[in-house]
Structure 1
């Protein structure tokens, strides 16, 4: 349902697009998974979780008007260890492209809070598991994403600003070991980002 709402919002914004502006954001992020009680392979692995990692996360944003915008979050690859009861059992790399429809609370100051809702995709690759001779595969995962943050543009800055935001994504990946399904790895991360913005 939330995915449908986000899609409708994006389509509605596109239909009413005005002569807008582009903004490029360059940030650094901490991706912190929240799910630490995954159970895989019929209980062979319990309390499974992915590690917290850090990465470079640029994004591109289009402003339809002062209040409505759409932002596409990109990233350099994140690499996570996967542990079971604190012991490493696997690792994987992934990209998390995320698009959000945003409402910006424009006002007379340089401080602009915003909220957003949208969708994310987790594209994993290079999956490895500690079991000799075994092959691990993680499927592409899809989920709903939310966002809250602010952009601050000093009075003497023409186009530059700084921003901070927090995102949450409800996302998981289906796992296979030697071609057999062993369960879902739920990640459901918080993503904390700080960076610079430039509007043109």
Structure 2
């Protein structure tokens, strides 16, 4: 009975927040598609001169507005292949999947401009590591913070142009011959532009 009461309370709360968002004349859901450029910080603590390439990737995010000002955003993409270099020479590749969940504050009443800021958490899954012919390895995953600033420019009732900048904290210990050589901090800045649809 207690579980049913809690579930009912959660359902009522979600319905109430959705009603608040809809009262503003806008739906609570926003789906965006962006082209995002990853610019790696490459802070190498191993002393091996390691770096990971920058690249542009596709990204999709889904946001839910609890109120006209508060929203949660889930950022998604597909596993991305990156090249690792040592002293400027490629030593192999790995793949990573870096979904992030952020809580956002959206500013309103700015003549149609809709800037926002956000903060949350990033989880990066690292797979298919192939470095130095199998002689080197990376940790399987990374947890870190995520910061965000962006702006939506409405094109009509539902569509908007979006500009977005995120800072993700992604790092991995590097192992050579099974020995931990230190930490490689990727900590990329993600600069994105795309379209959003609100419903």
TM-score (norm 2): 0.83
Q: How does 1:70-89 map to 2 (within 5 A)?
A: 70-89=72-91
Map 1:149-160 to 2 at 5 A.
Answer: 149-154=150-155, 157-160=156-159
**CA deviations over 1:29-80 (Å, ceiling 9, x no partner):** 11111124x143xx4x22x111101111000000011100010000122211
CA contact (8 A) 1:22 1:199 kept: yes
SS in 2 for 1:34: coil
Preserved CA contact (<8 Å) 2:138 2:172: no
User: Partner residue of 2:198?
Assistant: 199
Report deviation, 1:133. Answer: 5.0
C-alpha separation in 2, matches of 1:176 and 1:51: 19
Query: 2:101 and 2:170 mapped to 1: Cα distance?
Result: 14
* Contact persistence 2:81–2:96 (CA under 8 A): yes
Match of 1:97 in 2: 99
Q: Return the offset for 1:109.
A: 2.7
Structure 1: how far apart are the matches of 2:193 and 2:127?
A: 27
Query: What's the offset of the Cα at 1:178?
Result: 4.2
Q: Equivalent residue for 1:183?
A: 182
Q: Kindly tell me: are residues 93 and 133 of structure 1, through their superposed partners in 2, closer, same or farther at Cα, counting changes over 3 Å?
A: closer
Structure 1: gaps of 5 or more residues: 1-13
Note the C-alpha offset of 1:26: 0.7
Q: Which of 64, 67, 79 is residue 65 of structure 1 equivalent to?
A: 67
Whether 1:26 aligns to 2:33 is: yes
Greater helix content: 2
Q: Summarize the alignment of residues 90-169 of structure 1 with structure 2, pairs less than 5 Å apart.
A: 90-107=92-109, 109-130=111-132, 132=133, 134=135, 136-154=137-155, 157-169=156-168
Number of aligned residue pairs: 179
CA displacement, residues 123-155 of structure 1 (integer Å, 9 cap, x when unaligned)? 11111113x45252433001111000100112x
Larger Rg: 2
Q: String of CA shifts for 1:85-124, please: whole Å, max 9, x gaps.
A: 2111231110110111100001153210000011101111
